[in-house]
A and B are shown apart, each in its own frame.
Chain A
Amino acid sequence: MKRRTFTRLAALALAAGVAGAPAMAQEVLKVGAVAPKTGPLAGGAAVSYWPNVKLWINDVNGRGGLRVGGKTYKLEAIEYDDQTNPGETIKAVQRLVDQDKAKIVLPPYSTGLNLAAAPIYARYGLPMITSTATTDKADALSAQFPNVFITLGGAKPVVQGVVDTMVKLRDRGDIGKKLAMVNVADAFGIELMNEAKPAFKKAGFELVYETSYPLGTQDLSPVMKAAKAAAPDAFIAWSYPPDTFALTEQAIVEDLKVGAFFTAVATAFPAYAGRFRTAVDGVLGIGGVNADGEAFKAYAKRHEEVTGAKPDYWASAMVYSSFQVLEKSIEAVGSFDNAAIIKHIKANSFDTVIGPIKFDGHNNNPSFWTVGQWQGGVFKGVASTGRDGAVDVKKKAAWK
């Protein structure tokens, strides 16, 4: 009895092996990806990063594979969790190159982890087209690490985009000049607040309320109550995901009456609209996409089909686009000669799902979305530094 079971199992295993054989005929190319699956940034990576790795590999394999110098390769992902720890990111990249012999290594997730890994990518000569790092220091970085490319922009242009949007609303008479502005007391929020204060003052706005709150603050109702008491015409929050949700919640509870309501990171997440439903209509946020463009629509549709989740309206498309730039460059060069690939990325313009990408002399992508607005259930770009497809900004109506 036992022997028969064994024979059956062996036959099954053999059959499985034979069935699996045709897939092996094509050469397999290992693609390394390292980003948080645990730790503080795991939530963001689960929305903007990991689904795009899956989708991109699915797309490339779907059209036959990656064509490099007359050969076609099936892509296969090797995914590592860096636990939101820069030491682990560095180790994982080295493991990918040295142990796993990955020919392609995708960039990590977030500003801090990308920069921590930059010296390692530079030492291996790997092209590193970052898609989730924001920095105003692109010139210093590209001087030190000529293989690093920045696509998502920095604080200065984002602030400029928000100021321009508010000026437009004010000049149209939709809002007055009284502004309430708050920030999360962490790296990102601090930098944007410090850029924004003088910029709004210069544009003729009056700051009637400002405060900061520590990262991880659970109860933001005192902040919203105080903001409401100052009777502002517009509310701006340089916020992170948890507080973006909490501030919006409180604004609805307190019925904050403003003509413009802006929250930063996570406003562009599908989960934001999922939580607040129709109330999000007219809410402004950081990021945006050309939501009516055919390229984005097709991308969003594929994203949902393949990964079962909607892309966000900011970093998702940028992450996928950075993979596309790499893919196109490798195919154009026709080999895995990284120096030639980097040269190709620097010299050419690439057609991607967010539109054309052409890097400047500092390896910086000068055209990105800065402000978007929820309009009819879609987060549409309203301000950018040179992207097509911006829609007109609308006055925020009452919460509903």
Chain B
Amino acid sequence: MSALSSRDWGNLALCAIALAIAACLPWTAGAYGLSIGVTIAMYTVLATSWALFSGPTHYISLASAAFFGVGTYVTGIGIQYLPYWTLLPIAGLSGAVMAALVGLATLRLSGVYFVIFTLGLAEFVRQIITWSQNISGTKGIYVLTSIGEMHIYWQLLGLAALVWLLGWLIGRSRLGFALRIIGDDEAVARHSGIDTARAKILLFMVPGAVAAITGAMLAPRYVYIEPSLAFSPMLSFQVVIMALLGGTGRLWGPLVGVVPFTFLWEAISVSFPNQTTLLLGVCFLVIVYLLPKGFVGLIDLAARRMRSAEGYA
């Protein structure tokens, strides 16, 4: 790993300032603004960690809801016995272990097989929880705590900072380099002596752990947890579409997808409450057709044009 240049230090300082400004939201925005802030922070964390794995490897994972649901259940069940702060690492660990197991079983698969498996995973875990409820006879779980929206927002912001830091570190490491090669051509990577399965599993544990921690943080907001609410497949799809809208090529890519998408989604919910799902589908199509590389691609293109324009001038 090379030493940090002065430009790296400058970028780090800028990020820290941006985070500090974002952390002031609970005082500057009303309750409604804060709830939008929570949504943005939540999807930023989920989409960024998703892109850490799926960006370089091009493996589309629809497992976010599975890890998220496991995290909410860690809080739901654990809050009766353990202090809240211990639950977040437990959730992260469960998510990572689960991701490792899934990775061992499936990451040798590629393409559509992997997508289908991850989609099935959320349903599979949900059925296991339902089955164990049927055996034990407990219904939905109540999470009655004094944790408010602003606490959840700050926690998510902290987690987002961690994810960015981790992504940045991975990008500079041998692992990050290996993954970029795998993404370009897996056969070449294998022939260069890279243990492709190990690299993919290690990296898949990141979105697994992060999504589980996010679920654990959100559980107090939901108050009442049942499988159909915790393992909603919509969540997995929204994470993917937001990350793609932003672009997975850059660490900050998902963020520029999450923010406009959240406001777009808000606008649709407010103006067309009877056609939300229909319009969401139309948005998906428009994004895929018009912005295949996301906003990042658009910004890069604009930057290139500007540079070439300067060259002529």
Contact = CB atoms under 8 A, between A and B. Distances in A.
B269 A212 contact: no
A140 B276 CA distance: 35
Interface in A108-144: 111-112, 115-116, 118-120, 123-124, 137, 140, 144
B69 to A, nearest CB: 13
Interface residues of A, number: 43
A194 interface: yes
Given A37-B276, A190-B139, A191-B139, A81 B269 contact: yes
Contacts of B232: 85
B133 A187 contact: yes
A112 B229 contact: yes
Output the residue of A40, A79, A87, A214 with the most chain B CB within 10 A: A87
A192 to B, nearest CB: 9
Contact of A115 (B32, B39, B224, B227): B224
Interface string B21-53: 000000000111111100100000000000000
A124 B32 CA distance: 12
A218 B218 CA distance: 33
B276 A38 contact: yes
B277 interface: yes
Contact of A116 (B39, B222, B276): B222
SS class, residues of chain A in contact with chain B: helix
Contacts of A38: 276-277
B131 A88 contact: no
Given A83-B234, A186-B227, A215-B130, A194 B137 contact: yes
A215 B130 CA distance: 9
Interface in B126-174: 127, 130-131, 133-134, 137-140, 142, 144, 148
Interface of B: 30-36, 39, 127, 130-131, 133-134, 137-140, 142, 144, 148, 218, 221-224, 226-229, 232, 234, 266, 269-270, 273-274, 276-277
Given A37-B274, A155-B139, 5 more contacts: A95-B32, A98-B32, A120-B31, A140-B144, A185-B133
Interface of A: 37-38, 40, 79-81, 83, 85-88, 90-92, 94-95, 97-99, 111-112, 115-116, 118-120, 123-124, 137, 140, 144, 155, 185-188, 190-191, 193-194, 212, 214-215
5 contacts: A40-B228, A87-B222, A91-B266, A111-B224, A119-B221
